[in-house]
Structure 1
Amino acid sequence: MNKKLVHFALLAMLGVSTAISPITAYASVDSDIESTTNKLTELQKEEQSAQASLVEIAETIKDNEVKAESLVAEMTATQNQLEELKTKIADLTEAIEDREEKLAMQARSVQTKGNTGNFVEFLLEADNVADALARMDVVSNLVKANKDLVTAQNQDKEAIAKAEKTTEEKLQEQNLLAAELESAKADLEAKKLEKEVVVATIAAEKTDVQEQKEYYLSLKEAAETEVATLTSIDAEIASAVENAGEETVVASTEKASSEASAKPKAEQPTKVTTAPAGGVWATVQNAAYAVSGTPYLYGGNTTSGFDCSGFTTYVFKKAGITLPRTASGQYGASTKVSQSQAQPGDLVFFSQSGGIDHVGIYLGNNKFIGSQSSTGVAVAEISQSYWGKYLVGFGRVN
């Protein structure tokens, strides 16, 4: 009987000490679950705020796109007005030349009679008073006609001067409109990109915290299961000690230990990152040449028309690669390589106005394909006559 009591005491101590660990872990996991839940709530609020800001920016972008379309229409109207002014200037110049020729003809007609070179001599050569009066009337009419022609000529010159001034003002206005369009585009795309990064960052953080919470929940579930198992073991041990002999107690203990050790443990989930597939140059090349000849369109990113970054975004999307929408954004997102290291399929960047304002796809042999305002989508050479002067560098899309 005493031997049985000793076994009972040992088994009871085993049950108590084994149960302490999962109970303690259970309390700690509850704290972790609460912490991750609070963090998820905070991130949810941040995400809602960022999404609201993104919606606001999107509305602003739409408003500015309408303004941009209006500015483009104004630029077209300005170009038409400039053409009209050029035509008027040509017409006025021709009219002045005609008047000058008429003055010369009149002077020659006066000089014909009497072979004289001035009006005074023409009057003095009159045969009589009647002839003199007739000659005076001719001279008077001629002088008046000349005066009228000269006045008209001066007025035409003033009109030409005004037309020239208007032309210059229109040219300046056109340049300002173009600068305003480019500035608005860059600012809006930068704001949109910034907010998209914020939203993406919050979403990624939410995913991480959610995974942590699920991990802690799995730990809690495992701890609860283990506590339930140990409780069952304790009951089985007590029953065995009370109703059976030493052999039954030992067998029950071995069985309980075996069940406890075989219980699976919760493990931290592992993230798997799949590396992007390589060898996309063939797809990029085919997509680029497929839209060759597409006209340039400010803000365009479809086959109806492309701007420079719209073209590269479109082409790389065909290969399953997403690029930032602006040339400067693509420059920042690419891995920089030297010109000697540049390969077909790398991006090539230019700066014509102080910032990264043009991008194309390098073809090798000092050539690239891009959407230029003067040619649309076409192959161009990085020559010192133009593009070579503005070359910034090359970037590889990872």
Structure 2
Amino acid sequence: MYTVQPLQAEAATSKEMTQKKIKIDKKIKKLNKEIKDLKEKLQEKTKEYKVTQKSLKKVNESITETEKRIASRSEIIDDRLKAYQNHDSAVSPYIEAVLGSDSLTDLVSRAVSVKTIIDADQTLLSEQEDDKQKLADQKAELEETKAKLQKQFQQMQEEENALETKKAENKVKSLQLKKQIASKKEEERIAKELKEKEKEAQKLLELQNTQFISNEGNAGNGSNGGSPSDGDQSAPNVSGSQIAIEAIAEASNYLGTSYVWGGSNPSTGFDCSGLTQWAFKKAGYSLPRTAAQQYLATKKIDRSSAKAGDLVFFSYGSGVAHVGIYLGDNKMLDSQNNGVVVETLDWWNQYLVGFGRVSGVN
């Protein structure tokens, strides 16, 4: 594991130290550009997601039509079987119909009719099997597309975490040089800030390198598979501390708002941590910006102790990459692929890291 190391204070002149700081600040600027580029990529992915959602809607409509055809044919086939089973004679009704002819012409006519009925029955059965296979293929395609979309969002969230960690490390180095260049009064102020930033950068780095989910999945939490639900866009009715109620009420104002990568206020839209930060700010509490920083800033509590207004955190493998506001009753309010929604933790349990309580809440 990499650890942020203090810079050596052996530079002969402040000019040399300033040059070092300029180089580090350039790295920070480059990282900011990479983060900006990543946000632009997500915007493109969001457009692709919307197009895919339309395609998924058409597939769902097609599945509904296929299911209707299968159900309709099933009734016809069941009626045919019941009619055949209720026939008193031991002889097939088709053979009996042919044998009961009055003349050669009648015999031929009946034989042709029986063949037509038999061919129709066979066609009906063939169409039924074809539609059942089509239905299975459509459902498989639907699940595969959903899984692919979710994986793309997960990878981008992890990439953002890695970039933010590198950015935090370089900010520490820049502050270390600034400390050496500044006056004594400025040095004391920066020393305090530096200590806090070093601690935060180290914790973020350790968190980013922490593996929360094994290759076999988070077996302890269980998983229903699939992808996050569309959720509920109605405001939740919860009880709890006044601060928790205010934070949840504020977040509920934006139910149905589209997910925006990096969004942290109503004018731009929200990502997961932007929504929680905004909601608690309106309730009078300050939270850090990212899901990983919010995880470090909260007191960890057991699931059985979690109350409405606590935060719930998730990881897709390494680091904490998603956060929501717990509502109690196995539900949370969060901003995810489908926008700001209220949803159950059923699907999310496979990625669950744990619950955290904001100081002074609950």
TM-score, normalised by the number of residues in structure 2: 0.62
Task: Give the SS at the match of 1:371.
Answer: strand
Question: What's the offset of the Cα at 1:169?
Answer: 2.0
Residue in 2 aligned with 1:140?
111
Structure with the larger helix share: 1
Classify 1:368/1:35 alpha carbon distance in 2 versus 1 (closer, same or farther; 3 Å).
farther
Say whether the 8 Å CA contact 1:47–1:203 is kept in structure 2.
yes
Question: What's the offset of the Cα at 1:314?
Answer: 1.9
Classify 1:146/1:180 alpha carbon distance in 2 versus 1 (closer, same or farther; 3 Å).
same
2:276 to 279, 288, 312: 312
The whole-number CA distance in structure 2 between the counterparts of 1:351 and 1:359 is: 6
1:291 matched to 2:251? The reply is yes
Question: What's the offset of the Cα at 1:38?
Answer: 0.7
Task: Give the SS at the match of 1:309.
Answer: helix
Classify 1:341/1:334 alpha carbon distance in 2 versus 1 (closer, same or farther; 3 Å).
farther
Q: Which amino acid aligns with 2:68?
A: A
The whole-number CA distance in structure 2 between the counterparts of 1:142 and 1:85 is: 35
Q: Which amino acid aligns with 1:349?
A: V
**Structure 1: runs of 5 or more not aligned:** 1-31, 216-266, 275-280
Classify 1:352/1:139 alpha carbon distance in 2 versus 1 (closer, same or farther; 3 Å).
farther
Say whether the 8 Å CA contact 1:295–1:305 is kept in structure 2.
no
Classify 1:41/1:296 alpha carbon distance in 2 versus 1 (closer, same or farther; 3 Å).
same
Question: What's the offset of the Cα at 1:134?
Answer: 2.7
Greater relative CO (CA pairs within 8 A, separation 6+): 2
1:160 matched to 2:160? The reply is no
Say whether the 8 Å CA contact 2:287–2:294 is kept in structure 1.
no
Question: What's the offset of the Cα at 1:66?
Answer: 0.7
Classify 1:345/1:192 alpha carbon distance in 2 versus 1 (closer, same or farther; 3 Å).
farther
Alignment map for 1:169-188 (pairs within 5 Å): 169-188=140-159
Alignment map for 1:33-72 (pairs within 5 Å): 34-72=12-50
**Structure 2: runs of 5 or more not aligned:** 1-9, 194-240
Residue in 2 aligned with 1:336?
299
What is the aligned length?
296
TM-score, normalised by the number of residues in structure 1: 0.57
Q: Which amino acid aligns with 2:143?
A: Q
Classify 1:334/1:368 alpha carbon distance in 2 versus 1 (closer, same or farther; 3 Å).
farther
The whole-number CA distance in structure 2 between the counterparts of 1:35 and 1:66 is: 47
Classify 1:121/1:320 alpha carbon distance in 2 versus 1 (closer, same or farther; 3 Å).
closer
Task: Give the SS at the match of 1:71.
Answer: helix
1:204 to 148, 156, 175: 175
Classify 1:379/1:165 alpha carbon distance in 2 versus 1 (closer, same or farther; 3 Å).
closer
What is the CA RMSD across the aligned residues, in angstroms?
Answer: 4.8
Percent identity reads: 15
The whole-number CA distance in structure 1 between the counterparts of 2:310 and 2:137 is: 42
Question: Which structure: larger Rg?
Answer: 1
